[in-house]
Amino acid sequence: MAQMTEPSIDLDWHALSEQEIRQFDEQGYLIVRNVLDSEMIDRIVEAADRLIASDDQDMRTGRLGFKNCIVKDDAFIPLLTHSKSLSVVVQLLGAHIQLMVSQLAYRNSSDPSKKIRRVGWHRDYGAATKVLGDHVPRVLLKCAFYLNDLTKPNSGVTLVAPGSNRHSNPIEVPEGELGPKGYVEASLKTGDCLFFENRTGHAAGINTSGNVRKAIMIGYGYRWVMPLDYRSQEPAFMDKLDELGRYLVGERYPKIVGYKAGGGDSPLTPWCEQNGAPEIRPVV
Ligand SMILES: O=C(O)CCC(=O)C(=O)O
């Protein structure tokens, strides 16, 4: 009989149903409602507004975004180990994961009278796609947390192409359409989270709402792939993290002597065992 390891993580577990796991595997995305509470959202928005308005150019992407944003303000750090989103990620990717990318992604509203004909459909992890074309396996899962209400159409929610994770064809957008056949523009409330993987075709949707679309995305991937927006995090940032947080930004856990198949232990393994989820989850 397999031996249970001592549970070391004291976080609530948000169990996914079999149907939700199947939906993610087959469609390449999953929506989980009410992930962030209003206090957390207020703290994050305050910090994010301040950062966007600042003259900080380090890791800035355009006027309205930052990569590796997790290090930019302490208000973002709880997202890394948030019990609801992290338990969803662990059920989808398994226990041997790390932070791949953290991005603040605001989008201005544009003039509704100007017709927008195209949005930028793509799959993620361009560094691998450049080498392997559209044959990159599932290596990355982004949690897109929306910080304002996107329930009305054209509010700037991220569009997804269901099932595009299961084929390697280019994402074809018919002439005159905004997305591939069957694309989804989800209706999301403040604090809802859209999970999607790197093979899922997606695009930042049109925003003519009159409001800035505010989102922060935390991406996780397997320990054996390279993070996208950092190589190692600064010691001053690491000092602010708990053991789980440090593991998730690439620190070994625990320091093992000798060789261990799979690359070492994960503090998430006992959490999986406790909650009946597999430690290693083959992609189907
Ligand atoms: O900002 C968005 O809605 C889309 C972001 C995106 O395309 C990405 O994370 O790769």
CA-closest candidate to residue 221, choices 135, 143, 132, 120: 143
Atom of ligand 1 nearest to the CA of 107: 1
CA atoms within 13 A of residue 104's CA, in its CB half-sphere = 29
Does the Cβ of 138 fall within 6 Å of ligand 1? no
What's the chain's average pLDDT?
93
Distance (angstroms) between ligand 1 centre and the Cα of 96 equals 24
Tens digit of pLDDT for each residue in 45-88? Answer: 999 999 999 999 999 999 999 999 999 999 999 999 999 999 99
Tens digit of pLDDT for each residue in 143-165? Answer: 999 999 999 999 999 999 999 99
Does the Cβ of 229 fall within 6 Å of ligand 1? no
Distance (angstroms) between ligand 1 centre and the Cα of 118 equals 15
Tens digit of pLDDT for each residue in 17-45? Answer: 999 999 999 999 999 999 999 999 999 99
Residue 219 pLDDT > 70: yes
Instruction: Measure the CA dihedral 192/140/15/150, to 10°.
Output: 10
Distance (angstroms) between ligand 1 centre and the Cα of 258 equals 40
Per-residue pLDDT at 2: 42
Asked if 217 and 127 touch (Cβ cutoff 8 Å), the reply is no
Asked if 140 and 219 touch (Cβ cutoff 8 Å), the reply is yes
Pairing of strands 140-146, 65-67: unpaired
Helices (H), the chain: 18-27, 38-53, 83-93, 126-132, 235-238, 243-248, 268-275
Atom of ligand 1 nearest to the CA of 103: 9
Q: What is the CATH number of domain 18-223?
A: 2.60.120.620
Helices (H), 95-212: 126-132
Does the Cβ of 204 fall within 6 Å of ligand 1? yes
Model pTM above 0.85: yes
Atom of ligand 1 nearest to the CA of 124: 10
Instruction: Please tell me which residue, 123 or 257, carries the higher pLDDT value.
Output: 123
* Per-domain boundaries in the chain: 18-223
Both tokens assigned to 255: 């320091």
Residue 1 pLDDT > 70: no
Tens digit of pLDDT for each residue in 182-214? Answer: 999 999 999 999 999 999 999 999 999 999 999
Secondary-structure percent of the chain, ordered helix, strand, coil, rounded to 5: 25, 20, 55
Residue 6 pLDDT > 60: no
Mean pLDDT throughout 3-24? 84
The CA distance from 133 to 127, in Å, is: 10
pLDDT confidence of 135, banded at 50, 70, 90? Answer: confident
Atom of ligand 1 nearest to the CA of 217: 9
From atom 2 of ligand 1, which residue's Cα is the shortest distance away? 204
Does the Cβ of 186 fall within 6 Å of ligand 1? no
Tens digit of pLDDT for each residue in 261-273? Answer: 666 889 999 999 9
